[in-house]
């Protein structure tokens, strides 16, 4: 069946309201309608869905759309129903394990009546007898295989059920096949064509270049502080921060909020309602920042995400490309910043150890690509596009860290020749690392197995490191002097161009990789943070003159306000002020033990005094701000804070965490002493008499000489329960003294 271009265009307008096709859409659609198989590679946002939706609507029969994302099927079906015509629900259906018997019956009737033009199915539904016999009765217009990279175990999202699609097509009856994906390396492309057995499919490949995205990789040192600074400099802009673990998501979201940035967490461990609420808050712009595991983002189409930050490096370039791709979908600014340290790579490798060997091999290879990308000094855009089999010929893209800050180049012709000669001399092909080991003269078990330490080339380049030689080989790949084979992924061979180069070498501008720090362990991080906190509260290092001025001011104010001095600011707070020299409310709130409330209530006079002092004495303030941290970022504390927010009884919280009440109260006291306010009124009202609350409260306001719990217990323990004293003290600290 052939179709005229203007008819197609009028259908596009009629069904979808668009005036013209985007990219390759028209060619793809025409090809499909004419009965050809098609393979569509388009970056996210390119308009893939329309490539099968429109033909499904105009062709005779029902199109079978195979998609791995059961959770998104309903959205997709709703979307197409919304486009096509109000109320005509039977035009599209989905079939998956979430449907009830009655719903399946309805789908069946609509299908058999011929009204349904699109049927979305999960691949596992295609293996069920009932479904097969139903589908066999239909006239199938074509098969669309969405997220086709799921076929390949070299994709980042391998689904074994996808391997059986071709068998299913045979059982149901052959019709044209269209496979679509937003990420596919040459290896994955070849797997898809082979597995679907559509060698003659016409390939429609759009450029994967996203010119408006800025790519940057930063050393993972002080990443949290760096992120807070970045977000503050980009106030009001929407952004996504990806972390690998749920724990980190919670911690980071918490930390951002503590530092005045409204952020919500999103991960699979949250209940469905919270997850939905947080996602909506982000989409509706109640919060600018979402901190998420990769569970977030699929099927989300927020056009104005201005930054995507990877707190942890992703485990493949595909994931990286897909996640960064969520920035700047409207073609405007989109900054993609990744924090990298080699420790994180080792962590990812450790996670893989539980997997099967074959999977581990693939995982390691994908990770090696990530390392090469992160450490490279080459244009990031060029590296990414090259990874997806696309040529990028600009010298300088002007929109990545390496192009903005280029590193010095050296003439690498001699080194490249050494690499090429080595590869040519070996009877078998090897991976990058192995070749680099030979040249650098580093032995390991593989080198020994092959007796490669006996080669003349062994150690011939030992004036350079293994890493240096890896860089040379990577750049040889980029320059197409070397090639990585598709079938035996990762093995390096010399191309025809490389042979020509070797026989007549010319100048090659190579750059050395960047150096990154090793990174620290979480635990070490925490220890370091604790150490700095201890240093800070130890009182050392402050300006003694300023400190005494601040103490005078406090005494003076205390008299005027008829408050105890420590209620205004505690000693550690004053010490911190004498170190940080805060001159704005924002600065002040970053001082130890100074919350929002206290800063506003008592801060102004202190700021004026400090400002004068700074000016009179020409003091250079630390221009870096201080990140407020939780006393200890342990999951327990986060859990306690959240539970109290939800007004859960303290006994239940203690139970859930396996703590006794004493331990729980201590945790709460630590949380409060670090400046986090907790509202325990719901619990106090039920457990302590009102007059007792009043009496203990006035003790702290009028009599106590500090906020010391030990003193309070000594003074009050004859009259009141320890628990009562502790609870009211916390109430007091949160309401008055913070």
Tell me which stretch binds ligand ADP (CB under 6 A): 39-47, 201-209, 414-422, 696-704. 39-47
| Minimum distance from residue 33 beta carbon to Zn ion (Å) | 40
Question: What's the maximum distance between 2 C-alpha atoms anywhere in the chain?
Answer: 96
Q: Which of residues 276-315 bind Zn ion (CB under 5 A)?
A: none
Tell me which stretch binds ligand ADP (CB under 6 A): 38-46, 204-212, 227-235, 640-648. 38-46
Under the binding rule (CB under 6 A), the answer on residue 50 touching ligand ADP is yes
* Residue 683 interaction partner, one of Zn ion, ligand ADP, none, beta carbon < 5-8 Å per kind: none
Cα separation, 184 vs 35, whole angstroms:
24
Under the binding rule (CB under 6 A), the answer on residue 44 touching ligand ADP is yes
| Minimum distance from residue 406 beta carbon to Zn ion (Å) | 9
* Residue 631 interaction partner, one of Zn ion, ligand ADP, none, beta carbon < 5-8 Å per kind: none
Residue from 252, 400, 435, 684 that binds Zn ion (CB under 5 A)? 400
* Residue 8 interaction partner, one of Zn ion, ligand ADP, none, beta carbon < 5-8 Å per kind: none
Cα separation, 141 vs 1, whole angstroms:
12
Q: Which of residues 411-470 bind ligand ADP (CB under 6 A)?
A: none
Under the binding rule (CB under 5 A), the answer on residue 51 touching Zn ion is no
Q: Which of 513, 169, 206 lies closest to 342 in space, CA to CA?
A: 513
3-state secondary structure of 325: coil
| Minimum distance from residue 292 beta carbon to ligand ADP (Å) | 19
| Minimum distance from residue 383 beta carbon to Zn ion (Å) | 9
Phi and psi for 289 in degrees, rounded to 5? Answer: -125, 135
Closer CB to Zn ion, residue 315 or residue 381?
Answer: 381
Distances in Å between the Cα of 591 and the Cα atoms of 475, 570, 583, 628, 678 are: 48, 11, 11, 8, 19
Output the DSSP codes for 645-711: HTT--HHHHHHHHT--HHHHHHHHHHHHHTT-----HHHHHHHS-HHHHHHHHHIIIII-SSS-HHH
Closer CB to ligand ADP, residue 44 or residue 185?
Answer: 44
Cα separation, 307 vs 312, whole angstroms:
15
Beta bridge partners of 400: 215
Residue from 31, 48, 149, 598 that binds ligand ADP (CB under 6 A)? 48
Residue from 169, 397, 588, 630 that binds Zn ion (CB under 5 A)? 397
Closer CB to ligand ADP, residue 15 or residue 606?
Answer: 15
Q: Which of residues 338-357 bind Zn ion (CB under 5 A)?
A: none
Q: In what side-by-side order are the strands of the sheet with 213-219?
A: 213-219, 334-340, 305-310, 238-242, 289-292, 263-266
Cα separation, 211 vs 532, whole angstroms:
42
DSSP annotation of 408: P
Residue from 8, 29, 46, 603 that binds ligand ADP (CB under 6 A)? 46
Closer CB to ligand ADP, residue 69 or residue 511?
Answer: 69
Under the binding rule (CB under 6 A), the answer on residue 636 touching ligand ADP is no
Closer CB to ligand ADP, residue 146 or residue 513?
Answer: 146
Residue from 264, 315, 381, 554 that binds Zn ion (CB under 5 A)? 381
Length of the chain: 738
Closer CB to Zn ion, residue 379 or residue 416?
Answer: 379
Q: Which of 75, 69, 76 lies closest to 48 in space, CA to CA?
A: 76
Closer CB to ligand ADP, residue 157 or residue 669?
Answer: 157
Cα separation, 551 vs 545, whole angstroms:
10
Residue 378 contacts residue 473 (beta carbons within 8 Å): no
Using CB under 6 A as the binding criterion, the count of chain residues that bind ligand ADP stands at 13
* Residue 397 interaction partner, one of Zn ion, ligand ADP, none, beta carbon < 5-8 Å per kind: Zn ion
Closer CB to Zn ion, residue 75 or residue 396?
Answer: 396
- Binding letters toward ligand ADP, positions 300-339, x by CB under 6 A: -x--------------------------------------
* Residue 18 interaction partner, one of Zn ion, ligand ADP, none, beta carbon < 5-8 Å per kind: ligand ADP
| Minimum distance from residue 376 beta carbon to Zn ion (Å) | 11
Residue from 403, 579, 712, 734 that binds Zn ion (CB under 5 A)? 403
User: Residue 493: how many CB atoms within 10 A of its CB?
Assistant: 14
Cα separation, 297 vs 306, whole angstroms:
14
State the first-to-last Cα distance of the chain, in angstroms, to the nearest integer. 75
- Binding letters toward ligand ADP, positions 92-111, x by CB under 6 A: --------------------
Under the binding rule (CB under 6 A), the answer on residue 18 touching ligand ADP is yes
Closer CB to Zn ion, residue 405 or residue 443?
Answer: 405
Query: The tokens of 202 are what?
Result: 């016409």
Cα separation, 48 vs 4, whole angstroms:
21
Closer CB to ligand ADP, residue 301 or residue 521?
Answer: 301
Cα separation, 682 vs 691, whole angstroms:
16
Residue from 36, 45, 260, 269 that binds ligand ADP (CB under 6 A)? 45
* Residue 392 interaction partner, one of ligand ADP, Zn ion, none, beta carbon < 5-8 Å per kind: none
Distances in Å between the Cα of 239 and the Cα atoms of 37, 101, 304, 465, 466 are: 39, 42, 9, 39, 38
Closer CB to Zn ion, residue 377 or residue 578?
Answer: 377
H helical segments located in 68-179: 70-84, 101-113, 129-136, 165-172
Q: Which helix (H) or strand (E) holds 335?
A: strand 334-340
Tell me which stretch binds Zn ion (CB under 5 A): 34-42, 171-179, 392-400, 729-737. 392-400
Tell the burial category of 492 from Cβ atoms under 10 Å away from its Cβ (0-12, 13-18, 19+).
Answer: buried
* Residue 47 interaction partner, one of Zn ion, ligand ADP, none, beta carbon < 5-8 Å per kind: ligand ADP
Closer CB to Zn ion, residue 378 or residue 573?
Answer: 378
Under the binding rule (CB under 6 A), the answer on residue 42 touching ligand ADP is yes
Phi and psi for 494 in degrees, rounded to 5? Answer: -95, 135
* Residue 687 interaction partner, one of ligand ADP, Zn ion, none, beta carbon < 5-8 Å per kind: none
Beta-sheet strands, E only, within 435-539: 482-484, 491-494, 509-511
Residue from 21, 296, 311, 602 that binds ligand ADP (CB under 6 A)? 21
| Minimum distance from residue 12 beta carbon to ligand ADP (Å) | 7
* Residue 326 interaction partner, one of ligand ADP, Zn ion, none, beta carbon < 5-8 Å per kind: none
Closer CB to ligand ADP, residue 23 or residue 572?
Answer: 23
Exposure b/e, 194-230, CB count within 10 A at least 16 = b: ebbebeebeebebbbbbeebbbbbbbbeebbbbbbeb
* Residue 342 interaction partner, one of ligand ADP, Zn ion, none, beta carbon < 5-8 Å per kind: none
* Residue 306 interaction partner, one of Zn ion, ligand ADP, none, beta carbon < 5-8 Å per kind: none
Q: Which of residues 284-303 bind ligand ADP (CB under 6 A)?
A: 301
Closer CB to ligand ADP, residue 34 or residue 301?
Answer: 301
DSSP annotation of 540: T
| Minimum distance from residue 217 beta carbon to Zn ion (Å) | 12
Residue 242 contacts residue 309 (beta carbons within 8 Å): yes
Q: Which of 263, 326, 272 lies closest to 294 in space, CA to CA?
A: 326
Under the binding rule (CB under 6 A), the answer on residue 22 touching ligand ADP is yes
Residue 169 zone, left/alpha/beta (φ > 0; ψ -120 to 50; rest): alpha
* Residue 186 interaction partner, one of Zn ion, ligand ADP, none, beta carbon < 5-8 Å per kind: none
Which residue is listed with tokens 């600011």?
569
- Residues at the contact surface with ligand ADP, assessed by CB under 6 A: 18, 21-22, 25, 42, 44-50, 301
- Residues at the contact surface with Zn ion, assessed by CB under 5 A: 379, 381, 397, 400, 403
């Amino acid at each position: 069946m052939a179709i005229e271009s203007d008819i197609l265009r009028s259908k596009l307008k009629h069904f979808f309201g668009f005036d013209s096709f985007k990219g390759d859409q028209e060619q793809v659609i025409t090809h499909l309608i004419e009965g050809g198989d098609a393979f569509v590679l388009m970056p996210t946002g390119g308009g893939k869905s329309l490539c099968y939706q429109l033909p499904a609507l105009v062709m005779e029969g029902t199109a079978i759309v195979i998609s791995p994302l059961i959770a998104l099927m309903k959205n997709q079906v709703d979307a197409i129903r919304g486009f096509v015509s109000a109320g005509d629900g039977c035009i599209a259906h989905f079939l998956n394990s979430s449907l009830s018997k009655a719903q399946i019956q309805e789908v069946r009737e609509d299908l058999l009546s011929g009204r349904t033009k699109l049927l979305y199915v999960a691949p596992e539904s295609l293996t069920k007898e009932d479904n097969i016999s139903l589908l066999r009765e239909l006239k199938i217009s074509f098969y669309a295989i969405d997220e086709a990279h799921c076929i390949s175990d070299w994709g980042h999202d391998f689904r074994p059920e996808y391997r059986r699609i071709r068998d299913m097509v045979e059982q149901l009856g052959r019709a044209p096949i269209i496979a679509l994906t937003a990420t596919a390396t040459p290896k994955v492309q070849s797997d898809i064509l082979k597995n679907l057995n559509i060698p003659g499919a016409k390939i429609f490949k759009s450029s994967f270049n996203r010119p408006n995205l800025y790519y940057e990789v930063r050393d993972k040192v002080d990443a949290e502080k760096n992120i807070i600074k970045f977000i503050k400099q980009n106030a009001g802009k929407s952004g996504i921060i990806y972390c690998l673990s749920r724990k980190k998501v919670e911690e980071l979201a918490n930390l951002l909020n503590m530092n005045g940035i409204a952020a919500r967490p999103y991960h699979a461990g949250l209940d469905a309602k919270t997850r939905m609420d947080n996602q909506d808050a982000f989409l509706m712009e109640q919060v600018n920042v979402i901190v998420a595991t990769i569970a977030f983002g699929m099927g989300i189409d927020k056009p104005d995400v201005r930054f995507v930050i990877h707190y942890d490096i992703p485990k493949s370039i595909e994931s990286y490309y897909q996640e960064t791709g969520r920035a700047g979908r409207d073609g405007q600014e989109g900054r993609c910043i990744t924090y990298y340290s080699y420790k994180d790579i080792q962590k990812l490798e450790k996670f893989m150890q539980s997997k099967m060997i074959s999977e581990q091999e693939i995982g390691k290879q994908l990770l090696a690509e990530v390392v090469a990308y992160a450490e490279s000094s080459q244009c990031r855009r060029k590296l990414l596009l090259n990874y997806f089999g696309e040529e990028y010929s600009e010298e300088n893209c002007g929109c990545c860290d390496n192009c903005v800050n280029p590193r010095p180049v050296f003439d690498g012709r001699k080194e490249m020749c050494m690499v090429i000669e080595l590869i040519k001399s070996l009877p078998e092909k090897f991976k990058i690392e192995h070749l680099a080991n030979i040249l650098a003269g580093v032995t390991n078990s593989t080198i020994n197995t092959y007796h490669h330490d006996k080669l003349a080339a062994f150690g011939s380049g030992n004036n350079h490191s293994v890493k240096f030689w890896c860089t040379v080989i990577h750049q040889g790949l980029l320059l197409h002097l070397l090639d990585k084979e598709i079938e035996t992924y990762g093995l390096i061979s010399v191309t025809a161009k490389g042979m020509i180069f070797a026989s007549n070498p010319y100048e090659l501008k190579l750059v050395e990789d960047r150096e990154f720090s090793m990174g620290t362990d979480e635990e070490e991080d925490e220890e370091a943070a604790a150490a700095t906190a201890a240093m800070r509260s130890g009182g050392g290092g402050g300006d003694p003159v300023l400190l005494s001025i601040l103490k005078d001011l406090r005494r003076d104010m205390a008299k005027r306000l008829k408050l105890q001095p420590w209620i205004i600011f505690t000693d550690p707070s004053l010490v911190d002020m004498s170190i940080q020299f805060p001159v704005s409310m924002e600065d002040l709130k970053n001082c130890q033990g100074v919350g929002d409330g206290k800063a506003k209530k008592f801060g102004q006079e202190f700021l004026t005094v400090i400002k004068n002092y700074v000016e009179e004495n020409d003091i250079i303030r630390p221009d870096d701000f201080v990140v407020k941290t939780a006393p200890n970022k342990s999951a327990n504390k986060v859990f306690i804070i959240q539970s109290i927010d939800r007004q859960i009884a303290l006994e239940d919280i203690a139970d859930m965490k396996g703590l006794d009440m004493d331990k729980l109260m201590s945790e709460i006291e630590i949380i409060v002493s670090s400046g986090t306010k907790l509202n325990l009124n719901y619990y106090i009202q039920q457990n302590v008499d009102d007059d007792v609350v009043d009496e203990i409260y006035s003790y702290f306001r009028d009599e106590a000489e500090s906020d010391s719990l030990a003193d309070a217990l000594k003074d009050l323990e004859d009259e009141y329960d320890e628990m009562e004293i502790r609870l009211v003290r916390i109430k007091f600290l949160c309401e008055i003294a913070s």
